[in-house]
Structure 1
Amino acid sequence: MTGAGTDHSKKSLEGGPAIILVRPQLAVNIGMCARAMANFGLSDFRLVSPREGWPRTGALKKGANAAAAGAVHLLDAAKLYDSVEEAIADLNFVWATTARERGQAKRVLTPAEAMPETAAQLALGEKHGVLFGPERTGMSNDEIMLADAIITFPVNPAYASLNLAQSVLLVGYEWMRASSEAKAPFTEPERWPAAPREMVTSFFEYLETEAERAGFFRPVSKLPVMRRNLRNIFHKMRLTEQDVRTLRGLIVRLVEGPRTEAEKRKKPADTKEPADP
């Protein structure tokens, strides 16, 4: 199963630091980590002694593939190792993720601080990796010792435990920000121009006339302040021409009540009342 945002007609990003899962416990979590990697163009997936073995067949494979949601190619290409030492042997620099202080006198950075360093060094030809420990216990101190520096996450100190895939996702997001322009993939096109000031002013005058007739501006001494507040509400919206037409049509109907059948059959040009949008 692939997600709604999957588009195989577009070129998939590849590269980034190696993502190394140390003794992952659940095939589903491995699949979700692959999905997180695919979201942010990470393609070097390494597994160290998965508890259930590598789920290449049966129910475990089915669960991992379903959780990967279209990133099955990363599962199929994942490399399997017996130890952390083997998994990081070809790397120039290794980060270890942990939620607690380990007393190892290593630099401790957030993903937002760490990934720009990795992006800069990868551009020079180095190979970096990020270690993620088992879901329940995290990595041992001896495994943390193998890393050059530590990544930790700015989270609620009373609830610092992150799901394995969430940790990979956060690192992947910061990798994308550090290694690319990280612009929004799409923007909403502006379908209507901003309303001319004359049009907006005419709407305000009509609205305030009807509001005053209905007794809204009370006490009268506060009328200037209430008018300013009312106009500022709409000014902050940056009204388009269509917005003004819609709002004016709404006020007309509220003031004059429902149209009769005869009025509904008239064309907008046949009446002085503004056409409903």
Structure 2
Amino acid sequence: MTGGRGEGGALLTPAPGESPIVVLVRPQMAANIGTAARAMANGGLFHLRIVAPRDGWPQPNAYAAASGADAIIDAAQVFPDIASAVADCHRVFGTCPRPRHVIIPMRDARAAAEDLREINGRDLRVAVLFGPERAGLEADDLAHCDTLVRYPLNPQHTSLNLAQAVMILAYEWWMQAEKTPPRDFQMNETRPATKGELENFLTRLVDELDASGFLHNAPKRPGMVRNLRHWFERGEVTAQELRTLHGVVTELAKGRMRRGRFQDNDPPPWQETETP
């Protein structure tokens, strides 16, 4: 076994409970190892082990493809076989691109990430195997695994390159700890307006529209007011947006008073007139 070493020459072996170990089994090209490291860094996976790389190790071209994830390449450990690569692990997952004739727990990437978080939470060391680019893990490789991971993709085209396969799992791992609500808005320094604040604005808006003559058509007035309400009630209007809208109404009212109201007998300029 060879391995990356940190300051003072200490072997960089992750402590139990840290992020999972990514194990690339018989990778064929340095660029693929580099892009896999880049994907790992994106998703917060920092421990890389390489089993029997086709072109040996180290490979300088891996750094160019890693796009700044050099620390992962520096610390990568190389093993002659899977057994030695996972000997210190408590659990081993294996990515499996197609069904195999084995009886073993199967997970998709999201469920696998949940399992990985739970395992790490019990201070256990866990590895995830990724097979060679051409055909993935073989049956003998999967015999080292206690759980398989499959990606449910378009059955007409399920082909992934090595970095893509790593990226999917890295993303799901990261999202297990991501606190940003999936359907929330970025509020920055404001907040959603209360219904009372919104009602106050709508009352003022309707009063000004009455004063300007926009709602002069009595039969249509209720429907027009409802349309305005639906528009503002549709989403979470923020307090800052309401302050801006209050300012808009104020300036429009001032402009109307400066110009003078149109004659009562004249149609408002924004209303379409019928042509004979």
TM-score, structure 2 length as denominator?
A: 0.70
Identify which of 164, 171, 174 aligns with 2:172. Answer: 174
Unaligned 5+ runs, structure 1: 1-13, 261-277
1:146 positional shift: 2.2
Q: Which has the larger radius of gyration?
A: 2
SS in 1 for 2:37: helix
Cα distance between partner residues in 2 of 1:136 and 1:42: 24
Q: Distance in 2 between matches of 1:187 and 1:237?
A: 13
Which one of the candidate residues 218, 226, 229 is aligned to 2:227? 229
User: Which amino acid in structure 2 is aligned with residue 203 of structure 1?
Assistant: L
Q: Work out whether 1:18 is the aligned partner of 2:30.
A: no
Distance in 2 (alpha carbons) for counterparts of 1:34 and 1:68: 6
* Map 1:100-115 → 2, pairs under 5 A: 100-115=98-113
Give the superposition deviation at 1:96.
Answer: 0.9
Aligned equivalent of 1:95: 93
What is the aligned length? 234
Does the 8 A contact of 2:192 with 2:236 survive in 1? no
The answer (yes or no) to whether the contact 1:23–1:47 under 8 Å persists in 2 is yes
1:184 to 180, 195, 212: 180
Matched, 1:198 2:200: yes
Q: Check whether the contact 1:200–1:244 (CA below 8 A) recurs between aligned residues.
A: no
How far off its partner does 1:148 sit?
1.5
Q: Structure 2: how far apart are the matches of 1:250 and 1:187?
A: 23
Q: CA deviation at 1:93?
A: 1.9
Task: Provide the rounded CA distance (Å) in 1 between the counterparts of 2:165 and 2:33.
Answer: 12
Selected match of 1:34 from 12, 34, 37: 37
Distance 2:248 2:227 in 1: 20
Give CA deviations for 1:12-34 in whole Å, capped at 9, x if unaligned. Answer: xx922210011223322222221
Match of 1:268 in 2: none
Alignment map for 1:1-277 (pairs within 5 Å): 15-57=18-60, 60=61, 64-178=62-176, 180=177, 182-184=178-180, 188-191=187-190, 194=193, 196=197, 197-207=199-209, 212=214, 223-240=221-238, 242-244=240-242, 246-247=244-245
- Distance in 1, Cα, partners of 2:23 & 2:210: 65
Three-state SS of the structure 1 residue aligned to 2:55 is coil
Asked if structure 2 preserves the Cα contact closer than 8 Å seen for 1:33 and 1:168, the reply is yes
- Are the aligned partners of 1:204 and 1:231 in contact in 2 as well (CA < 8 Å)? no
Q: Contact between 1:135 and 1:164, CA under 8 Å: does it hold in 2? A: yes
Q: Once the two structures are aligned, what percentage of the paired residues are identical?
A: 38
- Paired residues of 2:201 and 2:246 also in contact (CA < 8 A): no
Say if 2:104 and 2:147, in contact at 8 Å, map to a contact too: yes
Amino acid at match of 2:68: G
Q: Kindly tell me: are residues 138 and 210 of structure 1, through their superposed partners in 2, closer, same or farther at Cα, counting changes over 3 Å?
A: farther
- Equivalent-residue separation in structure 2 for 1:43 and 1:156 (angstroms): 29
Greater Cα offset, 133-142 or 221-230: 221-230
> Partners in 2 of 1:117 and 1:193 — Cα distance?
36
Contact 2:18 2:123 in 1 (8 A): no
Q: Which amino acid aligns with 1:21?
A: L
Mapped to 1, the partners of 2:224 and 2:59 lie a distance apart of 69
Distance 1:249 1:119, change over 3 A: closer
127-136 vs 201-210, which moves further = 201-210
Q: Is the 8 A contact 1:34 1:74 kept in 2?
A: yes
In 2, Cα distance between the equivalents of 1:15 and 1:25? 28
Alignment CA distance shift 1:130-1:193 (3 Å): closer
